[in-house]
Structure 1
Amino acid sequence: MRSNVVRGCCLILFFWMCSASSQENVKLKPSITLGVVEFPPLVIKDPKSSRCHGEAIDASLALLTKLNYKVSVECMPPARLFERVKTGKVDLTINVRGTSALDNNVTFIENPFVDLSIVLMQNNRLSDVKSVSAIRGYDYLGIRQALIKEGFEFFDMATSSEAIHLFDVGRTSHLISYKQPYLFYIESFGSRLTDVVASERLTVPSYFAVSNYSAYRDELIDSLSLATSQNQNSTVIESYRDTKN
């Protein structure tokens, strides 16, 4: 009788240890939040669900899942993203260096995510006007301040699509934008403007940016730095594309 009780206790202890071990394994997979902004075609926002999809998200999820992270994706305007990064509610995002609202609150992963071009578009039919549409919270690596010094008045919008649309309907004479979203907009919706001049101002790399207030800051920096340093290609996006071919 006593031996049966002992065996029963041993079995209970064994199953409890297995359960505890299983729970520990679950804990070993950290849950993090990737914050993104609309940036077509790399990040496209669904107008019905407000969720985002696109190659930048796919590439990020592929890498982070391989590194054993459970990832939730939040899609939001830049100003809200910057605030959530500051509080650690967003663990990781993708951006260029030189964004004043972000730089002091993140640590950039050295290997680039994707290269981006900044263009200044001009509607020649409004050549005597100095107004420019842009994304709120973006300083475009000093280009915003340079244009302000030249006498330009800025009309800031929440997203790249809204800024491009404002320019396309003739509400501003100029548009400062990253090239990829502008081309995507024109290819998707066409353009009302017939006399537009484009001036490419800058080509810059973007990077993974880890919130300095994330609970997983050090771990993310170490794992992403190691993983991206092993890329055969110059950017994370290029490496991801190679795996798809």
Structure 2
Amino acid sequence: MNERRHIDARYAIAWSFCFSVGVLSTHGWRGLGAFALMFAGACIASRVPARRLFASSVPMLILALFVIGAHASTDPLEGARYAAKAYLLALGAIALVLACSPDSIAAAMERFAAPLRRFRLPVDDFCMMTSIALGAIPDLHIQLARLVAAQASRGAAFDAGPPHTRVLAWGRAFVALVVVAFRRAATLADAMEARCFGAGVRSSIRLSRSDPAAVALAVAGGAAMLACGIFL
């Protein structure tokens, strides 16, 4: 994962934006297939680990299957197309997180949104929240794997049994994942509040009339202590 620091996050974000717009704009399977091939080529070029990419996309894959099931009685092909679009969008976001560090993503987004500061928009807050949300995707995957392992050890059937049993098992796992995510969000909010994040623009230091005298006194005291340490 050290290679991801050599990728310019600005180009990665621009590519991800164009990829998302293209996926949402296409309506046929040929277009989705072309975007899937382009995505695979970009992942190979940026050395995104395929195993971690698809492992992190398991929750979105399950939601895509739910979308297909919801359209089973009306138009299964349309449901599959919507599910494929959602899954490709999720893969694009996950690949962006795996290819670039959250700090570089935040810095790149801040550069892109810098002109919006003229309209007094909270650009810094928005960029920081976005980078935190993107960085939480791999963490949520790790938490989901832990929850699945813990519930499987208690007898939950994720890979065996009838379909409704599997759906119920995954539903319980997702409920627990949401609870864990909200707890971590609350902890993060408390930590950011304790550090006065978002309290407004920081004030700059302004010298008053007594400050030069204080500086001269501090320099004289430091010189006196240094002289005492050398000659005494």
Q: Give the TM-score normalised by the residue count of structure 1.
A: 0.19
Q: Give the TM-score normalised by the residue count of structure 2.
A: 0.20
Bigger Rg, which one: 2
Identify the structure with the greater strand proportion.
Answer: 1
Identify the structure with the greater helix proportion.
Answer: 2
Task: Work out which structure has the larger RCO, using CA pairs closer than 8 Å and 6 or more positions apart in sequence.
Answer: 1
